[in-house]
């Protein structure tokens, strides 16, 4: 039995780095400090043993070499290939993906587009007053969770960084910090809040506008009720925000997926900007995948844009809504696709899944996923955080090296993508 | 009856993500949470199946009560089930309306499908090896 | 191994006291040697100005803040887009280009070494990741300590040796190069939305002042025998009347290193402002230059502003918030727990804006009024004052009074009453420009011992060959030729290989990262200090074990080991 | 006069977008010019995609009239940077039609896809069908969208019509979707039908809604009744969450309370 401490959990954007793993005979047998989800990830089974290829509707086992050749052929044949996923792998692999896309002339998008893509669009309009999570832990006396449900999606967020985390200026966090939850339904997180604000679906923008107007001294014009929230409660919340010494607003896909999308987030950002004229206030998107933020970082320094980058014409073009995976698939614009470390068949609208089914589709993933069933080729790889290592970025932009707990015979994402990339260079004579 | 469909993450859905073709995930993502008063109005009991329909498609789910929801809203965990009724329209933002879709809900005697069955319906093929 | 002979080069190499001699340069294995027989490659540099590779000692090109500038600015990426061609990867962006964009553009201007001006140690890994994709230059990173809790605590306790031990641990852990202070104390105050106005303000939560931070950091820096001095971004940046704060800071700087300066004061243009508000805003460059002239232990860089669009980014979070309140454009802020802050906003500097015009003049005044070019470095604080691609224009302005006057004519009419520039006759010489763009940097950063900044035997073969015939060019008149000539080298040579030819780069840059590792006695080794480890794991949001950047991030890795006196 | 007829050929992959910003009247003045279009990552000659017929001669863009025939619903960027002359599209047109246009006329008999007249400066776009999202809008991260000219949509518009509009005029004869005129700074946006949540964060300009504004934002102040073209209409000022220097005229409105 071997015990490894300070391991990093590759599940959500919290990137908890205090995990203890127990390893016996080359297998992880138990975890400590993990949440339920992280524990399940570390103890995951059912890895695909070798590359598989669908021939006449039947899966056949093939070698890695055949798999690489097939992938190269499928992608080089296309007029508008789409390379999607990336948030479930490490940064080094993402870099290879960008280089590959340069010579393919394809579109490279990451799962941001169905997560916090709208938050990025908003940030591109008005910026982002943020901070690292430790800053919140040590200083914040007011926490707002807006349209997010950390208890179910980021289970250790509240204990590591907010509600239950003692910090330098708060030695009894639970008593000294106020927590406000804003949501359309009373979630598990809402149940532990000091204040729950229930908004009607689609009402976030109006509520944020009202709060901003109150901050500007225009409370006289606010009606008695805005999108299900009473004026009394709005006044009270505005006051709590103005008088705290450090407020931190966390928001989730409740804002990005609702009506108005990024304009909701823009309004939240400007609300926080306004609050900084009164006190200290920051805002942080609750990023979902463990390295989705890393995908944004890598693509920003490599291409100039954080997601949805179209290289069809050689130079990078960016226009979410046009160059995002959902739109490209729904409009049937692409004619081949590679999915890396993501499972769109589980998460995309059915119409998009149908298009994925109808075009050549390569999947790079350790497990048999839903997307496997509609793919033409799958190449299994090592799992970053278990038998592969690499860099990831936490939801607040902190880069962390995700370590491996053991060796295996599986190639890492970086290794397999580099093989595919090198083969492409060879075929294209570059 | 008309409802607003809201979809999202749950801890159980998260726990089963590395084994999405297994029973646990199938069970979790085919649940539809409804306010108890809405269940009454629909004339169904918790645990009975419902048919969720809109212009995009239809899907059979099991109804469960949740008092945390407002009346008129249902909640379904992320997964292939709810995506049968999610439109791919993004309004030019890249993001579908995962949080706000109008759906029609009625009792049904049809059975829920597993993710594998839904995928097979789409033409998907499971790998028999391993 | 590979050999190269550059024949007939017209060389200016101030470190070697070579001022325009025609000579041959021989290279073997990436180093300059006495001579080579049967060279693999011969370059005829007849009639071409040949200088050591350019060094930028204060630029923002890699890391969290720079990348957030890219992330938030798709509009900036509409310019400067190129596709993959030959060995060059695709690029995009103007004021915050992609890493390849930065690297290729610097390379075509003959720059071979870049110092990233501000790296938060907690996010160091990110900076090093981007260095890896900046292939044409050697990179170094200044490491931020302005609001470091352990450091501030040691200063409060009056324990300078412990302070030095803390700096040593962080520098090694972050793979950093120098000690950077950005608005010392101000970034900690910004943690609760406050700021400090100058060096004697008390810092909230710590019973010390910015002045104590600056002085103690200088002492600790020298205890570690680091190649570079403390690198300071003074308090109160960008505010009318702040020159007094700058002068007071300079007056308090001890002279404690006889090999080089004791303080590197950066982007001084932004700290040389007179007036009591924007209405009576004026230049105080003369006062600042006089102070610098009197203090041989201070080196400055100018922080020149040039007109047009750019993006400002700094660890000085409160300053960026003030700028946001002025411009109402988009604003990003990123506080880093226990360490520092940062902010970003896009700006446009306009000729017809009086304040902007004065800022432009101040930068030039500093460069012309500081007597010793070895102590006044040319930089725009890229991209804060302007994107670095404007350097050739800055050089031309400094070499030609005629060009300055012509530009001055196009500015806001009241500029003349607020600045001293029109009366300054000085025109910098070729040698002075060479000093201010490479030699002075090599000396100030302590890189001469590492073979940088000169062209004699034993030096790194980092060489810039410009298509400028010095004998037939009068810089005072032919300023267009200066601009064009310094914009694109005929050859840029990095470690003995041609990496850029007339603007086209090859990917054989073979970049390396320079970082320092001070050796301290066990008593000051923080990796064994229980109080440090306990405080770390209690207040940081990541474990101490996961904090240090491993050497696998560094590519070619030049560890600069020093023996500390503690 | 020069008449150019471009007829879209049948395509093997009909949904693959074609980028054809070369299609502007001015470009046809040069008889030597080569016309390239992009099909995904392949650069093609225009004749690979269109049957091209050119009749007559012209000395200026104003004398050139281009007609696009066939299924042009996936042809993007037609009329980008157009500065004079006329383009007539007989069917539907793809995204980014008339981007950055400064003069001339684009007439679309069918529907237009998203980003119609993005960052337009002048000239006129007349769309007889519907326009998708972001008609007359700006680009990601930019402060200003449409700055001049006229976009007239006879059918409905999608979401975010006139987003960050900073000048010019948009007239929508049918309904508009969600958030028309969001972040509008200047110019005039007229919606003859209904819409929802108009003009959030408005800091200038004018919006007129002759139908019903659903989910009207609470941060606009009711300034009383007035009349436009003898229609009784309520004037609002706002948006008071920011500086509040814009004006909305609304015939009917409903709040989400």
CATH number, domain containing residue A333: 3.40.50.740
| Model-level ipTM above the cut of 0.90 | yes
Most distant pair of Cα atoms in chain A: their distance: 71
Which pair of structure tokens corresponds to residue C5?
A: 């002979």
Does D41 touch chain C if contact means CB atoms closer than 8 Å?
no
Q: What is the pLDDT of residues D222-239, one digit of tens each?
A: 999 999 988 899 999 999
Question: What pLDDT digit, counting tens, does each position of A29-57 carry?
Answer: 999 999 999 999 999 888 999 999 999 99
Task: Please tell me which residue of chain B has the smallest CA distance to D95.
Answer: B92
| pLDDT for the residue B19 | 83
**Same-domain status, A73 and A139:** no
Q: The tokens of C39 are what?
A: 């060279």
What is residue A333's predicted lDDT score, i.e. its pLDDT? 97
* Contacts with B, A 177-216, CB within 8 Å: 184-187, 190-191, 198, 200-202
First to last CA, chain B: 45
Residue D62 within any structural domain of the chain: yes
pLDDT at C149 over 70: yes
Checking if the pLDDT of B14 tops 90, the result is: no
Judging contacts by C-beta atoms under 8 Å, the chain C residues touching residue A246 are 191-193
Contact A349 B88 (CB under 8 A): yes
Give the bridge partners for D216, in sequence order.
Answer: D255
Taking only the tens place, the pLDDT of each residue in B80-93 is 999 999 999 999 99
Give the domain ranges of chain B: 2-121
Judge if D136 and D238 occupy the same domain.
Answer: yes
Range of the domain at A59: 46-114+290-428
| Contacting C residues, span 526-555, partner chain A, CB-CB under 8 Å | 539-543, 545-546, 550
Tokens of C402: 């005629």
Same domain, D148 and D89: no
3-state secondary structure of A216: coil
Instruction: Say if D18 falls within a structural domain.
Output: yes
C337 touches chain A (CB under 8 A): yes
The domain tally of chain D equals: 2
Min distance A22 CA to chain D CA atoms (Å)? 48
A-chain CB neighbours of B102 within 8 Å are: none
Contact B92 D115 (CB under 8 A): yes
Within 83-142 of A, beta carbons closer than 8 Å to D belong to 104-106, 121, 124-125
Beta bridge partners of D23: none
The DSSP annotation for C113-162 comes to EEEEEEE-GGGHHHHHHHHHT-TTSEEEEEEE-TT-HHHHHHHHTT-HHH
Q: What's the domain count of chain A? A: 2
For residues C542 and A17, give the distance between their C-alpha atoms in angstroms, rounded to a whole number.
6
pLDDT at position C509 is: 63
| Confidence bin at D175 (pLDDT 50/70/90) | very high
Distance from C-alpha of C102 to C-alpha of C97, rounded to nearest angstrom: 6
Residues D184 and D248 grouped into a single domain:
yes
Residue with tokens 């100058």: C198
pLDDT tens profile C12-67: 999 999 999 999 999 999 999 999 999 999 999 999 999 999 999 999 999 999 99
Question: Do D88 and D178 belong together in one domain?
Answer: no
Q: Among B19, B86, B93, select the one facing A349 at the smallest CB separation.
A: B86
Pairing status of strand C111-119 against strand C263-265: unpaired
Determine the distance in angstroms separating the CA of A159 from the nearest CA of chain B, rounded to an integer: 16
Contacts of A365 (CB under 8 A, 6+ apart): A48, A339, A340, A341, A342, A343, A371, A372, A378, A380, A381
Condensed to tens digits (0 to 9), the pLDDT of residues A365-411 reads 999 999 999 999 999 999 999 999 999 999 999 999 999 999 999 99
A227/D179 touch (CB, cutoff 8 Å), yes or no: no
Give B49's strand partners.
B62
Q: What is the pLDDT of residue C513?
A: 96
**Domain co-membership, A299 together with A393:** yes
Residue whose pair of structure tokens reads 């400066």 in the numeric block:
D121
Does D81 contact C at CB distance below 8 Å? no
Which residue on chain D is closest to B94 by alpha carbon? D133
Closest Cα in chain A to D132: A321
Collapsed DSSP state (helix, strand, coil) of residue C182: strand
Question: At which of A285, A315, A335 does a domain end?
Answer: A285
Report the chain D residue with the minimal C-alpha distance to residue C77: D141
Q: Which CATH class is domain B2-121?
A: mainly beta
Place of tokens 């080579």: C36
Q: Same structural domain for residues A197 and A108?
A: no
Provide mean pLDDT across the span B36-40.
97
The CATH number of residue A143's host domain is 3.40.228.10
- With contact defined as 3+ CB pairs under 8 Å, the chains touching B are A, D
- When the pLDDT of each residue in chain D is averaged and rounded to a whole number, the result is 97
Q: How confident is the model at residue C328 (pLDDT cuts 50, 70, 90)?
A: confident
Q: What is the pLDDT of residues C415-459, one digit of tens each?
A: 999 999 999 999 999 999 999 999 999 999 999 999 999 999 999
CA distance A379 to C552: 27
Q: State residue B76 phi and psi, 5-degree precision.
A: -125, 130
Determine the 3-state secondary structure of A31 from DSSP.
strand
Same domain, A219 and A302: no
Parallel/antiparallel/unpaired status of strands B101-107 and B49-53 = antiparallel
DSSP structural state of residue B113:
P
Contact C78 D143 (CB under 8 A): no
Residue A95 CB neighbour total at 10 angstroms: 21
Provide the pLDDT for residue C16.
96
**CA separation for the pair C41, C24 (Å, rounded):** 13
Token pair listed for A172:
């009894």
Hey, what are D94's tokens? 């793809």
Closest-CA residue in chain A for D20?
A313
* Smallest CA–CA distance from D134 into chain B, residue: B92
DSSP state of C453: S
Per-residue confidence band for C327, with pLDDT thresholds at 50, 70 and 90 = confident
Q: Using the beta-carbon criterion (under 8 Å), do D141 and C329 form an inter-chain contact?
A: no
Same structural domain, D149 and D242: yes
- Check residue A170 and give its pLDDT: 87
Chain B residues touching chain D at CB-CB below 8 Å: 91-92
Nearest to C330 by CA among C355, C314, C318, C312: C312
Contacting A residues, span 279-338, partner chain B, CB-CB under 8 Å? 288, 308, 320-322, 324-327, 329-330
Topology classification of domain C53-446: TIM Barrel (3.20.20)
Specify if D116 maps to a domain: no
Q: What share of chain A is helix, strand, coil (3-state, %, to 5)?
A: 40, 25, 35
Model confidence over A261-291: pLDDT tens digits? 999 999 999 999 999 999 999 999 999 999 9
Whether B5 and B52 have beta carbons less than 8 Å apart is answered as: yes
- Over 90: is that where the pLDDT of A173 sits? no
Q: How far is Cα A139 from Cα C201, in angstroms, rounded to an integer? A: 22
| Tokens 């320092």 sit on residue | C516
Residue A15 burial (10 A CB sphere; 0-12, 13-18, 19+): buried
Q: Check: pTM over 0.95? Answer yes or no.
A: yes
Q: Within an 8 Å CB–CB cutoff, is residue D139 touching chain C?
A: yes
The verdict on residue D37 lying in a domain is yes
Rounded to an integer, the average pLDDT of A305-319 is: 97
Q: What is the 3-state secondary structure (H, E, C) of chain D?
A: CEEEEEEECCCCCCCCCEECCCCCHHHHHCCCCCCEEEECCEEEEHHHHEEEEEEECCCCHHHEEEEEECCCCCEECCCCCCEEEEEEECCCECCCCCCCCCEEEEEECCCECCCCCCCCCCCEEEECCCECCCCCCCCCCCCCCCCCCEEEECCCECCCCCCCCEEEEEEECCCCCECCCCCCCEEEEEECCCEECCCCCCCCCEEEEEEEEEEECCCCEEEEEEEECCEEEEEEEECCCCCCCEEEEEEEEEECC
Closest residue to A324, CB basis, from B94, B97, B130: B94
Specify if D225 maps to a domain: yes
| Residues of chain D neighbouring C73 (CB-CB closer than 8 A) | 141
Check whether residue A229 and residue A186 sit in a common domain. Answer: yes
Residue C171 CA to residue A21 CA, distance in Å, equals 30
Stretch 225-264 of chain A: residues touching chain D, C-beta under 8 Å: 225-228, 259-260, 263
Last-in-domain residue among A249, A270, A285? A285
- Residue after which a domain boundary falls, among D78, D110, D142: D110
How close D177 gets to chain B, by Cα (Å)?
Answer: 9
- The answer on A322 and A341 residing in a single domain is yes
Strands (E), C210-321: 230-233, 263-265, 273-274, 282-283, 298-301, 308-314
pLDDT band at D150 (very low <50, low <70, confident <90, very high): very high
Whether D35 contacts D45, CB under 8 Å? yes
Report how far apart, in Å, the C-alpha atoms of D143 and of each of B93, D138, D139, D185 are.
Answer: 17, 7, 8, 9
Residues C458, C460, C464: CA angle, nearest 5 degrees: 125
Strand partners, A279: none
A126 Cα to chain B: minimum distance (Å): 17
> Among A99-113, A145-159, A164-178, A203-217, which is the least confidently predicted range?
A164-178
Inter-chain touch D215–A206, beta carbons under 8 Å? yes
**Beta-bridge partner residues of A32:** A20
- Count of beta carbons in the 10 Å neighbourhood of residue A307: 30
pLDDT higher than 70, residue C1: no
Band of the pLDDT at B130, cuts 50, 70, 90? low
Chain B interface test: which of A34, A37, A343 (most B C-beta within 10 Å): A37
| Residue contact B88–A348, C-beta within 8 A | yes
Q: What are chain D's partners, defined as 3 or more CB pairs within 8 angstroms?
A: A, B, C
End-to-end distance of chain D based on CA atoms, in angstroms? 59
State whether residue C74 sits within 8 Å of chain D by CB.
yes
Given an 8 Å threshold on Cβ–Cβ distance, is C193 in contact with A280? yes
Phi-psi region of A218 (alpha: psi -120 to 50; beta: other; left: phi over 0): alpha
Residue of D12, D140, D178 to mutate when probing chain A, most A C-beta within 10 A: D140
Q: Which domain holds residue D212?
A: 132-257
Touch between chain B and chain C: 3 or more Cβ pairs under 8 Å: no
pLDDT tops 90 at residue A128: yes
Give me the numbers of helices (H) and strands (E) for chain C, helices first please. Answer: 17, 24
Q: Do C72 and A132 touch (CB under 8 A)?
A: no
Chain centroid to Cα D153, Å, comes to: 8
Size of interface B-D (CB pairs under 8 A): 14
Tell me the pLDDT tens digit for each residue of C483-515: 999 999 999 999 999 999 999 998 766 789 999
**Pairwise CB contact (< 8 Å): D141 & C72:** yes
Tell whether D151 and D95 lie within a shared domain. no
Sign of CA dihedral C323, C327, C328, C333: negative
Average pLDDT, chain C: 96
Q: Could you tell me what percent of chain C has a pLDDT over 70?
A: 99
CA distance C108 to chain A (A): 19
Q: Is the pLDDT of residue A332 over 80?
A: yes
Give the tens place of pLDDT for each residue, C179-200.
Answer: 999 999 999 999 999 999 999 9
Query: Are residues D94 and D151 part of one domain?
Result: no
Q: What is the mean pLDDT of chain A?
A: 96
- Nearest chain B Cα to A191, which residue? B68
Give the Cβ contact number of residue C262 at 10 Å. 21
Give A90's DSSP letter.
-
| D174 in a structural domain | yes
């Amino acid at each position: 039995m071997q015990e490894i401490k300070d391991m990093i959990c590759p599940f959500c954007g919290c990137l908890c780095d205090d995990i203890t793993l127990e390893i016996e005979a080359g297998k992880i047998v138990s975890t400590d400090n993990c949440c339920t989800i992280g524990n399940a990830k570390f103890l995951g089974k059912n890895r695909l043993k070798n590359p598989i290829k669908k021939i006449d509707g039947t899966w056949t086992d093939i070698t890695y070499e055949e798999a690489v050749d097939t992938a190269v052929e499928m992608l080089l044949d296309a007029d508008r290939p789409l390379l999607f996923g990336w948030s479930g792998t490490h940064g080094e692999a993402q870099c290879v993906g960008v280089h590959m896309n340069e010579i393919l002339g394809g579109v490279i998008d990451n799962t941001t587009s169905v997560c916090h893509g709208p938050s990025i669009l908003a940030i591109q309009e008005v910026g982002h007053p943020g901070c690292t999570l430790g800053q919140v832990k040590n200083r914040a006396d007011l926490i707002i969770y807006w349209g997010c449900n950390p208890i179910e999606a980021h289970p250790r967020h509240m204990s590591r960084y907010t509600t239950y985390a003692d910090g330098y200026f708060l030695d009894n966090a639970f008593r000294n910090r106020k927590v406000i939850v804003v949501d359309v339904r009373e979630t598990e997180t809402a149940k532990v809040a000091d204040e729950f604000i229930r908004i009607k679906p689609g009402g976030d923008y109006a509520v944020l506008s009202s709060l901003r107007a109150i901050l500007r001294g225009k409370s006289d014009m606010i009606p008695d009720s805005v999108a299900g929230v009473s004026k009394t409660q709005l006044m009270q919340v505005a006051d709590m925000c103005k008088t705290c010494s450090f407020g931190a607003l966390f928001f989730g896909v409740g804002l990005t997926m609702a009506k108005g999308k990024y304009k909701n987030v823009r309004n939240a950002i400007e609300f926080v900007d306004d609050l900084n004229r009164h006190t200290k206030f920051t805002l942080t998107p609750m990023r979902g995948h463990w390295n989705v933020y890393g995908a944004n970082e890598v693509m920003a320094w490599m291409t100039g844009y954080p997601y949805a980058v179209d290289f069809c014409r050689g130079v990078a073009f960016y226009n979410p809504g046009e160059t995002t995976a959902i739109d490209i698939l729904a409009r049937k614009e692409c004619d081949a696709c590679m999915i890396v470390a993501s499972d769109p068949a589980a998460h995309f609208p059915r119409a998009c899944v149908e298009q994925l089914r109808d075009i050549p589709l390569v999947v790079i993933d350790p497990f048999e996923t839903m997307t496997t069933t509609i793919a033409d080729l799958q190449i299994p790889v090592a799992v970053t955080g278990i038998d592969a290592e690499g860099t990831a970025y936490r939801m607040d932009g902190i880069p962390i090296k995700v370590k491996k707990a053991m060796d295996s015979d599986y190639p890492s994402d970086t290794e397999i993508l580099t093989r595919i990339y090198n083969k492409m260079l060879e075929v294209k004579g570059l | 009856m008309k409802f607003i469909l809201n979809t999202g993450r749950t801890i159980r859905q998260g726990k089963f993500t590395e084994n999405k073709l297994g029973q646990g995930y199938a069970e979790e993502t085919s649940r539809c949470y409804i306010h108890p008063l809405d269940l009454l109005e629909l004339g169904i009991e918790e645990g009975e199946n419902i048919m969720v329909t809109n212009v995009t498609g239809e899907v059979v789910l099991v109804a469960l009560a949740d008092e945390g929801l407002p009346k008129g809203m249902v909640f379904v965990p992320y997964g292939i089930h709810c995506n049968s009724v999610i439109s791919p329209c993004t309004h030019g933002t890249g993001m579908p309306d995962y949080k706000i879709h109008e759906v029609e809900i009625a009792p049904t005697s049809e059975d829920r499908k597993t993710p594998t069955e839904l995928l097979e319906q789409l033409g998907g093929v499971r790998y028999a090896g391993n | 191994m590979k050999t190269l002979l550059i024949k007939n080069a017209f060389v200016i190499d101030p470190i070697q006291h070579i001022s325009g001699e025609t000579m041959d340069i021989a290279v073997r294995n990436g180093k300059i040697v006495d001579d080579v027989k049967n060279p693999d490659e011969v370059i005829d540099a007849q009639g071409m100005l040949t200088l050591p590779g350019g060094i930028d000692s204060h630029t923002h090109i890699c890391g969290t803040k720079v990348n957030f500038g890219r992330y938030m600015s798709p509009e900036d990426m509409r310019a400067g887009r190129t596709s993959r061609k030959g060995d060059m990867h695709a690029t995009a962006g103007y004021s915050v280009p992609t890493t390849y964009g930065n690297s290729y553009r610097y390379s075509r201007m003959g720059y071979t070494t870049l110092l990233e001006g501000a790296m938060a140690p907690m996010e160091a890994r990110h900076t090093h990741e981007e260095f890896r994709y900046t292939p044409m230059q050697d990179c170094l990173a200044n490491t931020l300590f302005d609001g470091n809790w352990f450091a501030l605590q040691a200063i409060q306790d009056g324990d300078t040796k412990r302070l030095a031990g803390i700096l040593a641990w962080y520098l090694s852990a972050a793979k950093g190069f120098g000690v950077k202070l950005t608005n010392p104390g101000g970034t900690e105050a910004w943690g609760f939305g406050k700021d400090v106005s100058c060096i004697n303000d008390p810092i909230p939560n710590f019973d010390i002042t910015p002045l104590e931070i600056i002085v103690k950091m200088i002492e600790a820096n020298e205890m570690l025998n680091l190649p570079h001095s403390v690198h300071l971004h003074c308090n109160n940046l960008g505010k009318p009347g702040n020159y007094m704060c700058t002068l007071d800071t300079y007056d308090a700087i001890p002279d404690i290193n006889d090999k080089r300066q004791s303080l590197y004061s950066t982007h001084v243009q932004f700290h040389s402002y007179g007036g009591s508000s924007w209405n009576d805003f004026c230049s105080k460059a003369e006062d600042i230059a006089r102070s610098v002239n009197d203090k041989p232990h201070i080196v400055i860089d100018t922080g020149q502003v040039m007109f047009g669009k750019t993006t400002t980014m700094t660890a000085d979070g409160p300053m960026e918030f003030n700028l946001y309140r002025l411009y109402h454009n988009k604003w990003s802020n990123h506080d880093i727990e226990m360490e520092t802050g940062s902010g970003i906003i896009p700006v446009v500097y306009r000729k017809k804006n009086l304040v902007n015009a004065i800022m432009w003049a101040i930068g030039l005044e500093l460069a012309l009024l500081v007597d010793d070019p070895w102590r006044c470095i040319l930089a725009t604080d890229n991209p804060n004052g302007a994107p670095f691609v404007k350097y050739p224009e800055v050089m031309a302005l400094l070499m030609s009074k005629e060009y300055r006057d012509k530009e001055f004519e196009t500015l806001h009419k009241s500029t003349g009453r607020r600045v001293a520039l029109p009366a300054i006759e000085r025109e910098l010489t070729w040698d002075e420009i060479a000093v201010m763009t490479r030699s002075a940097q090599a000396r100030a950063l302590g890189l001469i011992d590492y073979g940088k900044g000169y062209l004699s035997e034993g030096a790194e073969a980092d060489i810039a060959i410009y298509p400028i015939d010095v004998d037939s060019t009068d810089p005072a008149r032919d300023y267009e030729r200066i601009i064009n000539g310094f914009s694109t080298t005929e050859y840029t040579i990095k470690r003995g290989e041609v990496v850029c030819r007339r603007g086209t780069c090859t990917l054989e840059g073979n970049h390396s990262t320079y970082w320092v590792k001070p050796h301290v006695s066990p008593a000051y080794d923080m990796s064994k200090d229980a109080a440090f480890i306990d405080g770390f794991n209690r207040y940081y949001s990541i474990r101490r074990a996961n904090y240090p950047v491993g050497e696998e991030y560094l590519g070619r890795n030049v560890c600069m080991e020093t023996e500390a006196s503690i | 006069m020069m008449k150019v007829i471009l007829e879209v050929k049948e395509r093997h992959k009909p949904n693959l977008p074609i980028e054809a910003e070369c299609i502007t009247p001015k470009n046809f003045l040069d008889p030597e010019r080569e016309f390239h279009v992009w099909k995904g990552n392949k650069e093609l000659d225009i004749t690979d995609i269109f049957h091209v017929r050119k009749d007559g001669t012209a000395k200026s863009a104003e004398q050139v009239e281009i007609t696009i025939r066939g299924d042009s619903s996936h042809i993007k960027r037609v009329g980008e940077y157009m500065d004079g002359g006329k383009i007539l599209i007989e069917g539907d047109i793809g995204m980014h039609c008339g981007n950055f246009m400064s003069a001339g006329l684009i007439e679309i008999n069918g529907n237009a896809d998203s980003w119609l007249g993005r960052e337009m400066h002048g000239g006129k776009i007349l769309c007889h069908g519907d326009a998708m999202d972001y008609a007359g809008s700006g680009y990601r991260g930019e402060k200003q969208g449409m700055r001049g000219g006229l976009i007239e949509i006879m059918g409905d518009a999608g979401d975010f019509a006139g987003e960050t509009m900073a000048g010019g005029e948009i007239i929508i004869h049918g309904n508009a979707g969600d958030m028309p005129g969001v972040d509008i700074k200047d110019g005039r946006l007229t919606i003859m039908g209904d819409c929802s949540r108009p003009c959030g964060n408005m800091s200038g300009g004018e919006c007129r809604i002759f139908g019903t504004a659903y989910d009207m934002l609470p941060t606009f102040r009711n300034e009383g009744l007035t009349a436009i073209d003898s229609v009784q209409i309520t004037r609002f000022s706002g948006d008071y969450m920011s500086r509040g220097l814009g004006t909305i005229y609304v015939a009917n409105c409903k709040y989400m309370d």
